[in-house]
Structure 1
Amino acid sequence: MEALLGGGASRRVSIDDALAEHAGELGRWQLRHFVLVSAAWALEALNTMVIIFADREPAMACPAGDGQCGDPCGGGAPAAGWVWTQGTGSSTVAEWGLVCGQRYKVGLVQALFFAGCLIGSGVFGHLSDSFLGRKGALQLACTLNAVFALLTSIAPNYSAYAALRVLTGFSNGSVGFCSFVLANEPIGPSRRGVAGMSAFYFFSGGVVLLAGVAAIFQSSWRLLYVVASLASLVYLVAVLPFVSESPRWYLVRGRADDAIRVLRDIASTNGSRIPDGVTLKFDDDDDDDDKLAGAESSSSASILDVLRSRTTRRRLVLSVLINLLCAVVYYGLSLNVGNLRTNLYVSVAVNALAEMPAFLLTTLFIDRFGRKPLAISTLLLSGVFCTAGSLISAADDATMSVAKMACSVVGIFGMAATYNLLFIYTSELFPTVVRNAALGCTGQATRMGAILAPLVVVLGERVPFAVFGMAGIVSGLLVFYLPETMNKPLYDTMAGLEEGEKTLFK
């Protein structure tokens, strides 16, 4: 028994208490670890958003002169005489003629990619909570990303390309939430919200970086996938070896010696120390030794345990619905920006940069007003402005067009803030033993929303805004039924969460 807890002890504390009282909640160790792990978000951005540039429709020209080549889509297929101004290698659309009657294949690839993400997020969520661990799951996902992206760069035809995008989605869809959990679990409760919101700058930064790379390699879509592959490889070799496994995962797997070792390393790097008499316990542990024998069995909790518990089942259902609706709005508004008749590379970069103020404001207010009020406010803000946008007809009126764009900007501002806040909120709603599995489920819901988003965008000028507005308002109302998690313990076990809920309502 003493070996399980890390030696004979006079005082047993939870990981949250060990961080707050001894190791430090957000010191030099956590900052370094957070930056190294969160850099993986840039990899997810590269592999997700690359489709904007690789599958774009380049400009066409008629060398014979205006009017000499006829309709570019005469007879439903690309007409003879038309050429791609940047060459056939500039995009998949140009290389495989995905225009006219074949244009649907571009949207199909995007849907297939997110379908792969949907499957992968569930699989990697389970692996991350089980024997593989947070770090191991992230390593596997990045390895597969590197391999699949490289293979995509040499895809011989559309069918092979589509299949490889499904496989890339399978691995890439889990990179973000695996890195999010690994980066935030060693951080103390009072600093977790601020730190968590900072992770999403890496995703936006990755999109900006991608736009710059795509602008350089405009003549070859294949080189974009080579760059994505090399980025994952560099991360695997130069970053992940210097990252630690989560002490919380160690604890729930019955490896308390490893957990306390990581915490002592945190304390030492932060200029502090954990007293020799301190060992670790679960949130639901008291001084009853019988509970300590449950360490190994606690590690075997799964998503089924989430569904068996009334408390976590309700939280999971609400989280899934909210994440699905938010994804429809977030990706839908992002795709609308892609339809603007402006420079594609500049537009994508500006769109990503525009999300950063939303992250900043959420970071400033998340530990002041709480997760729940902030999520409700930003969702309703986005929903109201999207609804207003549905009432405006841009037609040929420049003023109305600007007004509609303003509604879109405010809508994506509010949704960007909420979309990323949900990672923190959702991770705090579930205990360590099932946290990644729960995030995997909400991640699957997010992917479903991403699949639906382009289908909403093609419904016309005003209908998409009406759908986005309704989705934002409904999801904001659903948050009312979730509990506040600010400054609450980050529970390790299902029993700890249930006991905490009972204590809260006594």
Structure 2
Amino acid sequence: MGDAVGRRPAFLLSVVVIAVFGLLSAVANNYGTLLAIRVVVGMGIGGLTIPFDTMAEYLPQTQRGTALLSLSYFWTFGILLVVLSAYVAQQNFRLLLVLCAIPCILSTLVAAWFVPESPRWLLAKGRSAQALDTLRRAAHVNGHPDAVSLFPLGMKLKAEEPEVKSFAVICSPQWGKLFFFLSIVWAGFGLLYYATIMLVTDIFAQDPAERGEADGEGVDIDYEAITMSVVSEFVGLTVVMFTIDRFGRVASQVFTYFSGGICVLLLCLFASADSTSRNLLVVLAFGSRLFMSTGSCVTWTHTAEVLTTEIRTTGHSFVNSMARVTGVISPFIVQGGLPYRTIGVILFIASILTTIASFCLPETRGIALGTAMSQDSTTAKERTGTPNSQEMSQSPATVSDKEVV
């Protein structure tokens, strides 16, 4: 939808669906109704790739990687709010759903006021005048003293390719190989990230009967340990923001997914032992979430950069759906009664496959947005993090990409 009707309307529809049906979840009177409502919420979540892609289309080459990664702070902060909301709500799931819906409602209001349309999308639709107006407004918001002189009347912007409206292009010879590996990476991180979150919660949530308290009620959750694991996402994100342009997108994903697999395997092995100290489990949980979340953040950034404008939101939404599918599978692995050792082996194998698929993706560091498929940056030398000697180009939102006629 984002490639067909525009980034802004598609995103607004998504956040409205999430906010409205997220709030309706709290009044569901049976399991079937709750399940149906949450399915609709999940459909709305599919549109969350749109503002990410829109921002990528605005950013200049030199700031794109770190700026896109900075958006992930809000994701991690939202996860922390969920943990705090769960602590407040305790066993009241309706209250938890209401508390989780409040930020969504606020985000909807903010999005309606601030989120602009993508100039690249407008150009792809042949609406050059509107693209210029959008750029002038962006320059004004950013404090430029004279946006009209920056984007004068009569200026002609470089044309974009027509938008692709069909998922069939994903299987085309031009894109098939890229989407094959992207789908594996997204499916892998969907399984690894969500399974790790549930695994950490499961390890630090103990049934009273397991403590020998026959009359105990509910589950004793170690919120301190879980909160520490959430904090790890802030740490990992901060580190990768300073390293992604030095080592590249591919090398960053290879390192984080493989390291995350090692940590989660060790976490499961030590969690299955009777004499393991809590502190060791906290450290391993910290490392597991740090690497898995960091890898997923880089994957989001890499995907927005590697796809061209005419297929960016369609393709990003498609691979995002792969992560949703494996995210649904993850509870059956973690909470399906399997021993921790078995869970650890499964997740480690998934991390290896994700690492290999990441290595097969083209590098996007140091090249213009959406041009990775036509660059020589897919060589083994660049994939291992060797600096790209190609001159950095600017985004279409900068002066150097425009021609005056």
Match of 2:8 among 127, 135, 143: 135
User: 2: CA distance between counterparts of 1:411 and 1:171?
Assistant: 28
> Which residues of structure 1 form unaligned runs of 5+?
1-126, 284-294
Contact 2:225 2:282 (C-alpha < 8 Å) held by counterparts: no
Structure 2 counterpart of 1:167: 40
Q: CA 1:504–1:411 in structure 2 vs 1: closer, same or farther (change >3 Å)? A: closer
Alignment of 1:53-452 (within 5 A): 127-131=1-5, 133-175=6-48, 177-218=49-90, 220-268=92-140, 269-271=142-144, 273-276=150-153, 278-282=155-159, 298-310=162-174, 312-339=175-202, 340-341=204-205, 343=221, 345-389=223-267, 392=270, 394-399=272-277, 403=280, 406-452=283-329
User: Structure 2: which 5+ runs fail to align?
Assistant: 206-219, 380-405
Structure 1 pair 205–388 and aligned structure 2 pair: CA distance change class (3 A):
closer
Secondary structure of 1:367's partner?
Answer: helix
Tell me which residue corresponds to 1:481. 360
Encode CA deviations 1:372-428: one digit per residue, 9 max, x unaligned. Answer: 1111111221223334445557422135x6545544432322111101110011111
> 1:456–1:228: structure 2 CA closer, same or farther, 3 Å change rule?
closer
- From 332, 339, 347, the counterpart of 1:460: 339
Q: Deviations over 1:71-120 (max 9, x none)?
A: xxxxxxxxxxxxxxxxxxxxxxxxxxxxxxxxxxxxxxxxxxxxxxxxxx
Question: Who is 1:103 aligned against?
Answer: none
Contact 1:208–1:348 at 8 Å: present in 2 too?
no
- The one-character-per-residue Cα deviations of 1:273-295 (angstroms, maximum 9, x if unpaired) are 23556421136xxxxxxxxxxx6
- 1:279 alignment partner, SS class: strand
State the superposition RMSD in angstroms: 2.6
Distance 1:433 1:415 in 2: 30
- Structure number with greater Rg is 1
Q: Residues of 1 paired with 2:18 and 2:347: CA distance? A: 32
- Return structure 1 stretches of 4+ with deviation > 6 angstroms: 502-505
Q: CA deviation at 1:201?
A: 0.9
User: What is the rounded CA distance, in whole Å, between the counterparts of 1:425 and 1:502 in structure 2?
Assistant: 17
Report the residue type matching 1:170 in the other structure: M
What SS does the aligned partner of 2:339 have? coil
Superposed displacement of residue 240, structure 1: 2.2
Given the superposition, is the C-alpha separation of residues 461 and 483 from structure 1 closer, same or farther in structure 2, using an over 3 Å criterion?
same
Letter in 2 for 1:317: F
Match of 1:7 in 2: none
Q: Helix, strand or coil: the match of 1:466?
A: helix
TM-score normalized by the length of structure 2: 0.80
Q: 1:322: how far off?
A: 1.2
> What is the identity, as a one-letter code, of the residue corresponding to 1:166?
V
> Partner letter of residue 479 of structure 1?
S
Distance 2:86 2:299 in 1: 30
CA apart distance, 1:238: 4.2
Distance apart, 1:141 and its partner CA? 1.1
What is the identity, as a one-letter code, of the residue corresponding to 2:28? Answer: A
* Aligned twin of 1:77: none
Is the contact between residue 142 and residue 171 of structure 1 (CA under 8 Å) also seen in structure 2? yes
The secondary structure found in structure 2 opposite 1:397 is coil
8 Å contact from structure 1 (residues 323, 442) kept in 2: yes
How many residues are paired up?
A: 357
C-alpha change, 1:406 and 1:211, in structure 2 (3 Å) is closer
Q: Is 482-491 or 205-214 further displaced after alignment? A: 205-214
Shift of 1:197: 0.8
Q: Which amino acid aligns with 1:484?
A: E
